[in-house]
Structures are given as C-alpha cells and as structure tokens.
Structure 1
C-alpha cells in the first residue's frame, strides 16, 4: 500500500475486536476510568462489568484468576486477559489504534517522554492526589497531609509543562495524558484545590473536549462536596 492509498475495509476491520471488550472496573476508580476513556476515544465496543469492591469481589478466586493482585481494572479481549491500567493502554494502542504513533510514538525520545508520564501516573499521581482522594472518599483514619503535599508538588511540575505545550508531551494528546487525567480532574474530591493552576485546568478542558470523551463518576466529597 503506497503512502497515498487509504486502508482497506479488511485492514480496518483487523483493528476491531471480534466482540466487545469486557472491562472489569469500579466506577469511582481513576485507574478504571483511564481505560474506559481510552476505549471510548478509540471508538471500540466494550462492556462495563462493575466489580463489587466493598463486598470483596476482587479478592474472590474467579477474579484473582484474572489478576492475582486483586485490583481493577482488568480487560478480557477474546482470549486475552490483561490487568494493570497502563499496561492495558499500551496493549490497546498496539492492537487497535489506527493512529498508534500518536498515542505511543515509535521515536525513541518521544516514546521515553510518554513513558515518563506513565511512570508519574503510577508514582507521584497515585501517591499524591489519588491517595488524598481515597482517604477522603472512604474516611480512612490516615492523615491526608502528605498526599496533599505530594499532589501540589506534582501539579506545580505539570503546570510548568502545560504552560509550554497543549498536552503533557507536546501539541497532541498521548497515553501520557490519558493516564494522568482522571485523578487530576478529581483531585478536589481529595481536598486538593486546582485554583492555582490555570494551565492545568485548561488542559483538563482540552481533554474533556476530545471526541467521544466520557467523564468519570463524581463523588461529592472534599472540595467537591
């Protein structure tokens, strides 16, 4: 196929699952939401399967067979069962994204820049705004002070970056943005204010303007109450 030809119907269908992808999730989990958001942005058919975390469904043998760590999200795509939200984003990109280079570039430096923010999502984001939100959401006895401080330290870095580019790694949205959006958007639920971060709030608005964007369920706690 030359550079000017369009993909055939057959090649396009190869990037569609034979049946809807099952997403085992919790509606209030940002890790689950980043997968749901990406599935929607890619226009893929999927089925949401809510896991009753409060009832301990994620610790039952049938769920542990899918993810021994007992965590959501998990996807089932035909004979593929995969856990870990960031791993799922990478899988969906390689398997189904017609514009995979946009989401996860092949260029070494560009790919490293995206991976850096995937690491942030698993590190500073998870132990900052996500942890502060969990403490508030479930009324845990732990003090949220350290998590809130980590959140603001992260947001200062993101504010600086987003003052220079529309998205976290440049002018176009990538997996870096998908992985970090949900917990940033819902940081006020953990008593982390976004008022002092205009570039960060503008980025959230750009994310929410993407075609087929789907929001995460809001919980009226913290500053969002």
Structure 2
C-alpha cells in the first residue's frame, strides 16, 4: 500500500480536476486539499514552498512534490497505474501528442474561453473560440470509429483532455457539431471511479 497522495487543487480548475479524476479512476489512495484561490492562499508562503509558481495542482507523494497537471499524470501513471501510459514507444508518443494538445490548443481554446465567462479573464473571446473550433475539429476527426484517443484503451491522454473539453459549453463553446467528441466524453464518464468537475452557472446550457 502506498502513501496517501495529497493533491492540492481548486474545485473549478480543470487542471486540478484532471489529476483528481485520474486518481479516482486509477483507484489511488489520495486526499484532495482545497486551495482557496479567491483568498490568495496559493500566494502564501506555505503553498509557495510546494510550488514557487503559485499554481494548482500540486501533488505530494511522500517526499516527492510535483506541480503541473500533465507532469503529475505521467508520474502517477508510470508509478501506480502503468496501463494508462503504454510502454510501446509509438503508443507513448501518441499519448504525449495529446498531452501537448491539452497544454496547447485546449488551454488556449476551450479552457481560455471558460476563463472569460467563469473568472472574468481579460482575454480575446474571438481568438479563444477560433482555437477551440480548430482543436475540436481535430479531435472530432481523430475519434472517427474510435473508443478512446489512443489504442482503444483509456490512457492519461483521455484524462488530460477531458475536463476543459467537457466544460467547453461554460465558455460558450457548443459541442453540438462534434458527435465523436461527445462520444469520447461519454466513454470517459462511464469509467469506474469517474468524478465530475462542478458545473458553473454560466455559458451555454449543455
């Protein structure tokens, strides 16, 4: 039995949610610790000692401290749930491609659009919608005839893209035109241990 993993996060952060989601689906012994971003807790010395950048999520596993949600997914999968990160170099490269997509176009598209409506971020609405449309079209094409993103088995690639794509309507990004994407989200939601991210009362009604 491993140490209880501590995950410092914020309920409305998709980056935090992807780590919590994976810990649940992988059946890891973990504790969620809420960091009160509104109160500035992420800028206090105690939290900055874990992550000097002052961002959630942060994972603590014994004396190992890792920040950055995708880095945490890689660590947890490699150490505790290897079926979610294939050893085959081709499949691992495909997983990595979607981690890059999650950190790139998904972050600058649907995630950023949601930041505008949920957190009043001063970002370019048109740009976020253009990027979102581009990345959703990529995912829609890729998912034709597939169950999950890589090799028909759930991997950390699916976990990494889930939270912000599923909550794209909160940023006024409709998923109506993307049946393959919606099917992927549904397949992820059907995994044992799935936990949802709280919905906000903004954006399009799903």
TM-score scaled by structure 1? 0.88
Classify the secondary structure of the residue corresponding to 1:206: helix
**1:116 counterpart residue number:** 97
- How far apart in 2 are the matches of 1:141 and 1:114? 32
**2:123 counterpart residue number:** 142
- How far apart in 2 are the matches of 1:44 and 1:147? 34
Q: Given the alignment, which residue of 1, 17, 27 partners 2:2?
A: 17
Are 2:135 and 1:154 aligned?
yes
The structure having more radius of gyration, on CA atoms, is 1
Cα deviations across residues 145-175 of structure 1 (Å, max 9, x unaligned)?
1101100110000000111311112311111
Q: Which runs of 5+ in 2 are unaligned?
A: none
Cα deviations across residues 9-58 of structure 1 (Å, max 9, x unaligned)?
xxxxxxx323x211100000000000001100111121111111111111
Cα deviations across residues 115-143 of structure 1 (Å, max 9, x unaligned)?
00000010001000000000110223433
Cα deviations across residues 50-87 of structure 1 (Å, max 9, x unaligned)?
11111111111111111111110001111111111111
Q: Given the alignment, which residue of 178, 192, 202 partners 1:211?
A: 192
Q: Is the 8 A contact 2:14 2:197 kept in 1?
A: yes
Equivalent pairs counted in the alignment come to 206
C-alpha RMSD of matched pairs (Å):
1.2
TM-score scaled by structure 2? 0.96
Q: Which runs of 5+ in 1 are unaligned?
A: 1-15
Classify the secondary structure of the residue corresponding to 2:6: strand
